């Protein structure tokens, strides 16, 4: 049967429990916690790695003594850093090779980016030049009769061909070597070749823009983009004309080089022009004989320059001698 009677012992126990709960939840402490929580939500101060509450709080917190951590009874063991052994690099290369084997399309773009970056340096070094005046603060950069900036170079392409070390001529010599590399990239699998060609083209225009800034002091982005658009149009013309020359013969290829590199000048040394054509044929053969791995590792270098083709160019052709002996 239910009743409302409560014994005295139970009443005293209930009153003690309620009073202890009220003491543990004093209004002052609750308000402090509320203010600290609000401070965390509203403060825009960067957090400190040592005492986060002090730096984030908008209200000065009550300082509390910080006790030192208890010292361990036994010394902690020293942490040892693993030392890379001689087999670490080979193990990583093995993992990378397996990843490329299992997911070639996923990793190919990263491999192509790094390799073409090195190959682009090989393509640009042949006509490299500097402009010492660009390193001085108030010096004026010299110009040729067309207004183009003139540089200084010991390259065969400038000294022997009579070309001025300008940005446009540097680009045209670089395009010759880029074209040779792109022809080899076309022999890659159809799923890989476009990736390599695109990365090589991207690195070429990165290098061109860097040269415009460093050596020509063209800091205006709009003016740089104008130069880059111009040489991109020239690059597309180079691809078409050199492809035609490779397919139709040396005479057509020599015409393409004369039109692009020499801008159709009449005072061209045709022996030097023939050396360039022979050089392009020689390097294409070397690239054709090389394996994909030899090219894709990024360490490919062109062997010598067109000057090595002088004796080959001066050797009389057997077909020309046979035609001359006919009645």
Q: What is the DSSP string of 237-283?
A: HHHHHHHHHHHH-HHHHHHHHHHHTSTT-SS--HHHHHHHHHHHHHH
pLDDT category at 88 given cuts 50, 70, 90 is low
% of residues, the chain, pLDDT over 70: 65
pLDDT category at 324 given cuts 50, 70, 90 is low
Q: How much is the mean pLDDT over the chain?
A: 79
Q: Using one digit for the tens of pLDDT, what is the confidence trace for 221-231?
A: 999 999 999 99
Q: In DSSP terms, which residues pair with 130 in a beta bridge?
A: 152
pLDDT of residue 224: 95
Range from 60-74, 216-230, 264-278, 292-306 carrying the lowest mean pLDDT: 60-74
In the predicted structure, residue 72 carries a pLDDT above the cut 60: no
In the predicted structure, residue 85 carries a pLDDT above the cut 60: no
Measure the CA–CA gap between 298 and 58, rounded to whole angstroms. 57
Give the tokens for residue 24: 């543990």
pLDDT category at 81 given cuts 50, 70, 90 is very low
Model pTM greater than 0.75? no
Interior/surface letters 20-45, b for 16+ CB within 10 angstroms, e for the rest: eeeeeeeeeeeeeeeebeebeeeeee
């Amino acid at each position: 049967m239910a009743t409302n009677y409560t014994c005295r012992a139970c009443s005293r126990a209930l009153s003690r429990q309620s009073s202890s709960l009220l003491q543990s939840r004093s209004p002052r402490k609750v308000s402090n916690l509320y203010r600290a929580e609000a401070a965390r939500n509203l403060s825009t101060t960067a957090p400190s790695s040592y005492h986060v509450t002090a730096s984030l709080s908008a209200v000065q917190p009550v300082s509390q003594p910080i006790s030192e951590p208890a010292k361990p009874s036994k010394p902690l063991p020293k942490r040892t850093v693993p030392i890379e052994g001689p087999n670490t690099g080979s193990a990583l290369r093995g993992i990378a090779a397996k990843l490329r084997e299992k997911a070639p399309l996923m990793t190919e773009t990263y491999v192509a980016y790094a390799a073409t970056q090195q190959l682009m340096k090989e393509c640009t070094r042949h006509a490299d030049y500097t402009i010492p005046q660009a390193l001085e603060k108030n010096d004026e950069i010299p110009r040729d009769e067309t207004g183009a900036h003139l540089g200084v170079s010991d390259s065969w392409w400038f000294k022997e061909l009579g070309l001025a070390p300008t940005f446009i001529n540097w680009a045209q010599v670089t395009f010759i070597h880029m074209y040779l590399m792109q022809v080899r990239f076309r022999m890659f699998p159809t799923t890989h070749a476009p990736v390599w060609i695109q990365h090589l083209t991207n690195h070429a225009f990165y290098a061109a823009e860097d040269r415009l800034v460093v050596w020509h002091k063209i800091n205006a982005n709009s003016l740089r983009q104008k130069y880059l658009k111009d040489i991109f149009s020239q690059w597309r013309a180079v691809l078409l004309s050199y492809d035609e020359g490779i397919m139709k013969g040396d005479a057509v290829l020599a015409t393409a080089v004369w039109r692009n590199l020499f801008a159709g000048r009449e005072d061209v040394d045709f022996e030097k022009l023939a050396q360039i054509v022979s050089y392009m044929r020689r390097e294409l053969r070397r690239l054709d004989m090389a394996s994909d791995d030899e090219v894709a590792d990024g360490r490919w270098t062109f062997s010598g320059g067109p000057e090595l083709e002088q004796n080959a160019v001066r050797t009389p052709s057997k077909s020309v001698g046979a035609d001359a002996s006919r009645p």
